[in-house]
Structure formats: structure tokens, C-alpha cells
Amino acid sequence: MASDIVLLAAVSVLSACQQAYFANLVGKSRIKHKVIPPAVSGHPEFERTFRAQQNCIEFYAMFLVDLWAAGWFFNQELASLIGLLYIYGRHLYFYGYVQSVKGRLKGFSVCKMALILLLVMSVTGITNSLLDKYVHLNLLTKIRHVVLG
């Protein structure tokens, strides 16, 4: 069992570290621009840094759901790879947004693409599992049999 989800867990823990790192950078930006809590507005660079982190948080649970559904019901290795792509996209997004408002766009596109891929895999895998459970039809296994002879 544990080996079936270890890559998903590794990617999840890596992404959690990234979130902690972003939170830390917001704290540093607070000190740099003298924005005293609980204030969340002040210097434009701080505001961009804060919104960048907030946006990462807004999508984080969504990402985890899609990652695990794709990995569990479709393919763990592929889902984990796309999970890494998402983490890379978030890296681009965060640092781009800190630089400028337009700077966030490239990273956001990467994240969006990764989320769409994970979603397609999730829906395919879950649909297959539902068909298997309720009408005893496992399409993915059939396709694999046909393809591999």
C-alpha cells in the first residue's frame, strides 16, 4: 500500500515545504517594508508578495485533491511528475509576482496547465472506477489489453 502512494506523498510534502517557504518570504517582506501585523497593505512590493502567497494558498487544497485523485485512479508516476510541474509553476509565479504584476502570468499559465492535466487524469480514472464498480466495465484495463496485445 505505502509504495502505491509514496511518490504522491513526496510531492505533497515538497509542495508543503514550498508553502512554508513562501510564508517565510512574506514575513521577511513585512520586515523589509515595515508592514506591522495585522496590516496586509503598505509598500506595493509587500502587497504583491502577500497576494502571491494568498493565491498559492487559494489553489493549494484544489491542487492536492487533483494530484491525489489523478495519482490514485489514473497513474501515480505521471501525476507526481505533473505535480512537480505545478510546484515549478508556483515558483515562477511567486517570484514573478514579487517583481511585477505582469510577472505572475507565465507561472500562472504553467500551474493552470498542470491543474488541467491532473483534472483530466482524475476524471478519466474516476469515471473508469465508477464504471468498474457499478457496471463491472474496466475500460482502462481493456484498452491496456488491446494496446499491449
- Residue number, 134 or 146, with CB nearest to a copy of itself: 134
CA angle, corner 84, sides to 81 and 85, nearest 5?
90
Smallest CA-to-CA distance from 80 within 54, 118, 42 is with 118
Q: Could you tell me how many residues of this chain bind a copy of itself (CB under 8 A)?
A: 53
Show Cβ contacts of residue 112 under 8 Å, excluding neighbours closer than 6 positions: none
Q: Is the peptide bond before 38 cis (omega within 30 degrees of 0)?
A: yes
Contact string 49-88 vs a copy of itself (x = CB under 8 A)? -xxxx---xxxxxx-xxx-xx--xx---------------
Contact between 132 and a copy of itself per CB under 8 A: yes
Binding-site member from 36, 146, 147, 148 for a copy of itself (CB under 8 A): 36
In this structure, are residues 51 and 94 in contact, taking their beta carbons and an 8 Å threshold?
no
Choose the binding region for a copy of itself from 33-41, 77-85, 86-94, 141-149 (rule: CB under 8 A): 33-41
Determine the Cα–Cα distance for residues 98 and 109; give it in Å rounded to an integer.
17
Q: Within its chain, how far is the Cα of 56 from the centroid?
A: 9
The residues of the shown chain that bind a copy of itself, judged by CB under 8 A, are 1-3, 5-7, 9-10, 12-13, 15-17, 19-20, 23, 36-40, 44, 47-48, 50-53, 57-62, 64-66, 68-69, 72-73, 97, 101, 104, 115, 119, 122-123, 126, 129-130, 132-133
